Amino acid sequence: MKQLIITSDDFGLCSGVNRAVEQAWQDGLLTCASLMPGAAAFDEAVVIARRNPGLQVGLHLTLVHGTSVLPHTEIPGLVDVDGNFSDNPVASGMRYYFGKSLRGQLEREIEAQFIRIREAGIVPTHVDGHLNIHLHPVVFSILTGLMPRYGITSFRLSCERLRHNLRFDRSRIMGKAVERFIFGRLSEHARSQLDRMGIRYAVEVKGVLNSGRMTEEYILNILDGLQDGVTEIYFHPGLLPDAEITRRMPDYRHPEELEALTSQQVKRRLKELHIQLQNYRGEIKC
């Protein structure tokens, strides 16, 4: 049996993303959304989540390329005076790894992101990360202490088969190879700890290597090759015009990803292949 979880990242980033998430849930294949606690449209996203209670919501941990929950005065080593994290994930990752003085600030900010979602009346069930920062060794170590406390039962291991991806999209071959190596190693590092904790994860995650380009054509191509068990595919849907989408992700194909999520052709193909659509709780979407 093959099961498929379909997630939208960046829930709460802006109105264009939020409206696309709701449309993809109500009219399409979406089963989960991952919420950015410090983002500008967080409150709007919470309203959408409340009026769509079947939509499973998790934490989209944000420690790069986004905005913090805590003010600069509490985490001065992580954000600028406006509360913005660095837009350079490589430099940030190095600082978080080698800057031992930053660990306390990271712990406070990560827990504050859990708390903000809980105080909004949402119980997050899964954790992933903006630009996959949740797999960073120091960040993951902090998360292992917090996830049981906040009832987290599922975690994204951002590991995708390179050869399967390249069968259908030959762009960025070297970049994809580097990403596959880095995130594959980080996922292996995390896997044994998740097993000991009883936290679930998918056998594969699609969207790592084609982030921002999960079009209908690409999805139709990869469905035949899904592995047995649970696979997650994550998207970045959005409705344009939206200044924040354009500013932060000018190269992402947000409207096309929304079209893929609401595609009747994709829905028919899932039925033909007997692929069961569900969320991380195992609840089936008909």
Which residues is 52 bridged to in the sheet?
none
Supply the pLDDT for residue 1. Answer: 87
154, β-bridge pairs: 126, 200
CA distances, 247 to each of 28, 42, 65, 92, 251 (Å): 26, 18, 12, 20, 10
Q: Supply the CATH number for residue 29's domain.
A: 3.20.20.370
The residue segments making up the domain with residue 232 are: 2-278
Confirm whether 286 is domain-assigned: no
Asked whether residue 73 is domain-assigned, the answer is yes
For the chain, residues with pLDDT lower than 50 are: none
285: which 2 tokens? 């979407």
Q: What is the 3-state secondary structure (H, E, C) of 100-117?
A: HHHHHHHHHHHHHHHHHH
Cβ atoms of 147 and 124 closer than 8 Å: no
Interatomic CA distance for residues 174 and 48, integer angstroms:
39
Q: Which residue type sits at 135?
A: L
Whole-angstrom CA distances from 146 to 29, 89, 165 are 30, 23, 33
Question: Residue 286 has what pLDDT?
Answer: 73
Check residue 49 and give its pLDDT: 98
Q: Length of the chain, please? A: 286
Residue 284 inside a domain? The answer is: no
The CA angle 35-270-52, to the nearest 5 degrees, is 35
The predicted-structure confidence for 10-52, as pLDDT tens digits, reads as follows 999 999 999 999 999 999 999 999 999 999 999 999 999 999 9
pTM, to two decimals:
0.97
Rounded Cα gap, residues 109 and 37, in angstroms: 11
Count the domains in the chain. 1
Does 245 fall in a domain?
Answer: yes
Range 89-111 burial, b when 16+ CB lie within 10 A, else e: beebbeebeeeeebeebbbbbbb
Instruction: State the Cα angle at 127 between 122 and 129, rounded to 5°.
Output: 115
Burial 23-58 (b: 16+ CB within 10 A, else e): bbbeebbbbbbbbbbbbebbebbbebbeeeeebbbb
Q: What is the pLDDT of residues 58-81, one digit of tens each?
A: 999 999 999 999 999 999 999 999
Two tokens, residue 275: 């692929």
For residue 49, CA distances in Å to 19, 56, 112, 130 come to 11, 8, 20, 19
| Two tokens, residue 40 | 């500008």
Q: What is the pLDDT of residue 39?
A: 98
